[in-house]
Chain A
Amino acid sequence: MATNDPTPNNARPDNARVVKRLLFVVVGMFGFGFALVPLYEVFCDITGFNGRTKNEQAAVNTRQIDTSRTINVQFITRVNKGMPWGFSPEVNSVRVHPGETKVVNFLASNPTGQNMVAQAIPSVAPGEAGLYLNKTECFCFNQQPLAAGADTKMPMQFYLDPDIPEHIHTLTLSYTMYDMTANAQPDVLATFEATPSAD
């Protein structure tokens, strides 16, 4: 909208310039669509939006345990559609004080006749609680190999950041187990050769 005084249409209007600018917008918006992917990542990491957890090893808690509060941490497990593994938490929930470190074991079994590799993906509800869930050790950091017919106990050690907002009394940690056999990392696959049968 450069001017309020339109070009008379018997003159040759400068269409090329406008078209170029508009095409620039089109290309820019196409790029923006893809830029939303990393932007969303960053946004979720900062805000805990969408139940992301910090999926990396946290430092051991050095802060005071807040014994005045108790938070109920629930565990849900599921396997992705078509994934034949058994997968369950050893306990369905634990009550923890913020700052207190707990270990919860998860049980996985591979009932098939093939060696398989899986990856568990965490999600926390409510989403904002995800920011305060610190895992010092978790099977979910790595791909999990499991030989044919084997089962295993996988530990997850965590504590809740004492800064966790007052209104959060319960949080739910959900793991979904995905079949990653086709996309397994070479060092994970190598464990099958080292130990022909797990346990």
Chain B
Amino acid sequence: MSTVAGEMDHTDHHHHAPSGITRWLFTTNHKDIGSMYLWFSFIMFLVGGSMAMVIRAELFQPGLQLVDPHFFNQMTTVHGLIMVFGAVMPAFTGLANWMVPLMIGAPDMALPRMNNWSFWILPFAFAILLASLFMEGGGPAFGWTFYAPLSTTYSSDSTALFVFSVHIMGISSIMGAINVIVTIMNMRAPGMTYMKMPLFVWTWFITAFLLIAVMPVLAGAVTMVLTDKYFGTSFFDAAGGGDPVLFQHIFWFFGHPEVYIMILPSFGIISAIIPAFSRKRLFGYSSMVYATAAIAGLSFIVWAHHMFTTGMPVAAEIFFMYATMLISVPTGVKVFNWVATMWRGSITFETPMLFALAFVILFTIGGFSGLMLAITPVDFQYHDTYFVVAHFHYVLVSGAIFSIMAAAYYWLPKWTGHMYDETLAKWHFWCSLISVNLLFFPMHFAGLAGMPRRIPDYSLQFADINQIVSIGGFAFGLSQLIFLWVVIKCARGGEKAPAKPWEGAEGLEWTVPSPAPYHTFETPPEVK
């Protein structure tokens, strides 16, 4: 790695980049790699979304209509894996690649060749995962959480492929995270102190530390599943002296920081967009930084709130309950700061702002249902019901995904040099907003009424709710095609975007022309 950095001499840039496919295969340019990450994540979003459509089509009516239960389980599993590791995480890495160097005044990422690697191993990981669906016995069907013994004793032969693909995804994220940390620590423009960094940079900095702390634990967990299944070890097999509950501890030690990995960069995006369209500075910058760090720190001591029903001692349940509730304090600080930023601002409602506003409201709803789930005694009722499904889709879809959409609209003029079609974008927003609530809000009621998650069939009394949810699901899926249309239209042409298309926007990324030239900040800007 050191030689890669050492060879980065700023006098011998390739001014004639290779063309055609090799440009993309061999590129070490952060903007190219960022674009590839974003396109890849969008493709995965559509692939994972199609699986959600299969799930919602099957659940449209009670009874078994379209797919057999084993295939249904594969759909829920692979939908989860693809959305987490293929859509949300690469989208954030793509945004980091594009925006972190531009925001801190760096010419590129610190480790550009490793950057190329961390992207290009991803398509192989997902090719392996998707190929496993076509194997005899089917693909992974044990849920994205791959609890033992479902993933060891009772899994199909394709589990080895699942394990290897997760290994590759993990290596990719770790390399991406190392790159972000080194870039932020070593490549900031003169005068860009840590407390002057834009919040997107700060939140990604903290996210990257979470990634290098927990992705190796995930790698360990899948490795143990692999050896338990194929090499006769008994990490999770009670007959051999292991313990299946241990799996859940290891998995959620990774899994809970992981959910913050998928939301902290969102906080950074929203903290850039709300001030821009309120035409005010962000309220409470330093408290935002400390709140992000606090959330990241707390994420390591709350994992067992996913396991309240495993028969933990009361003392442990109470500890994890209060630790979890504590997280709502720094999160509340953030929501308060966003609202305070808007207070008496001159607000305009361009599409990025609309998505950001929807984020604040809907993410807060997801946060509240999370708080409800944190209450140990009631979790016994909510556990493994559609209430949980509603909760994490509120924070991940109307949270993380909405923030990614907001970011895309906010920075599309910088990326493409054209303004996107505001009318179409507003259509995308309103269709998404209405359908996402139609899709996920009724799930709360289904869950409270006792409908379990991850099942292809259900009792008749849930039929109406599921029909509404499915209609919302199809509408939300179709709405995303509008987004695709807007992005393609914007990339192909449109009104020329000025260097700073948003009146209230701040940051170094708006000091370079639109579209951002292939090489930027080769002479570092001076930050005062």
Contacts and interface: CB of A to CB of B under 8 A. Distances in A.
Interface in B512-528: 521, 523-524
Contacts of A7: 186-188
Nearest to A28: B216
B194 A1 contact: yes
Interface stretch (B236-244, B278-286, B472-480): B236-244
Given A22-B182, A49-B312, A126-B313, A15 B111 contact: yes
B217 interface: yes
Contacts of A4: 193-195
Interface stretch (B245-253, B445-453, B493-501): B245-253
Nearest to A52: B243
B356 to A, nearest CB: 29
Greatest chain A CB density within 10 A among B174, B195, B216, B310 is at: B216
B5 A16 contact: yes
Contacts of A22: 177-178, 181-182, 212
B114 to A, nearest CB: 9
Greatest chain A CB density within 10 A among B185, B219, B313 is at: B185
Given A19-B1, A127-B311, A127-B312, A27 B182 contact: no
Interface string B305-317: 0000011110010
A12 B3 CA distance: 12
A4 B107 CA distance: 20
Contact of A18 (B181, B240, B253, B523): B181
Contacts of A61: none
A47 B110 CA distance: 47
Interface string A24-66: 0111111011101100100010011111000000000000000
Contacts of A183: 240
Nearest to A127: B313
B254 to A, nearest CB: 8
Given A26-B174, A40-B249, A49-B313, A13 B10 contact: no
B192 interface: yes
Interface string B288-308: 000000000000000000000
A29 B187 contact: no
Contacts of B178: 19, 22-23, 26
B459 interface: no
B313 A36 contact: no
A181 to B, nearest CB: 11
A26 B216 contact: yes
Nearest to A5: B193
Interface residues of B, number: 56
B238 A176 contact: yes
B170 to A, nearest CB: 10
B2 interface: yes
A180 B239 contact: yes
Contacts of A50: 243, 245, 310-312
A36 B247 CA distance: 10
Interface in A118-135: 119, 121, 125-128
B513 to A, nearest CB: 20
A21 to B, nearest CB: 9
B524 A9 contact: yes
Contacts of B186: 6-7, 9, 13-15, 18
A15 B221 CA distance: 30
B89 to A, nearest CB: 17
B213 A36 contact: no
A108 to B, nearest CB: 16
Contacts of B120: none
A191 interface: no
Given A22-B182, A127-B313, A34 B220 contact: yes
B2 A51 contact: no
A16 B1 contact: yes
B111 A125 contact: no
B90 interface: no
B312 A1 contact: no
Contact of B216 (A13, A29, A40, A126): A29
B81 interface: no
A113 interface: no
Contacts of A32: 216-217, 220
B246 A25 contact: no
Given A15-B111, A27-B216, A29-B212, A6 B312 contact: no
Given A6-B193, A18-B181, A33 B219 contact: yes
A183 to B, nearest CB: 7
Nearest to B101: A9
Contacts of A51: 311
B250 A33 contact: yes
A128 B313 contact: yes
A112 interface: no
A13 B2 CA distance: 10
A8 B220 contact: no
A158 interface: no
A15 B213 contact: no
Contact of B313 (A16, A47, A81, A180): A47
B190 to A, nearest CB: 5
B213 to A, nearest CB: 5
Given A9-B107, A15-B5, 18 more contacts: A1-B185, A4-B194, A6-B193, A9-B189, A10-B10, A15-B1, A15-B186, A18-B182, A22-B181, A29-B217, A33-B218, A33-B224, A47-B313, A51-B311, A119-B239, A125-B311, A127-B313, A178-B238
10 contacts: A1-B194, A9-B521, A16-B6, A18-B186, A22-B178, A26-B174, A29-B214, A30-B217, A32-B217, A34-B224
Interface of A: 1-2, 4-10, 12-16, 18-19, 22-23, 25-30, 32-34, 36-37, 40, 44, 47-51, 80-81, 119, 121, 125-128, 176, 178-180, 183
Q: Which 4 A-B pairs have the closest CB atoms?
A: A33-B220, A16-B2, A178-B239, A13-B186
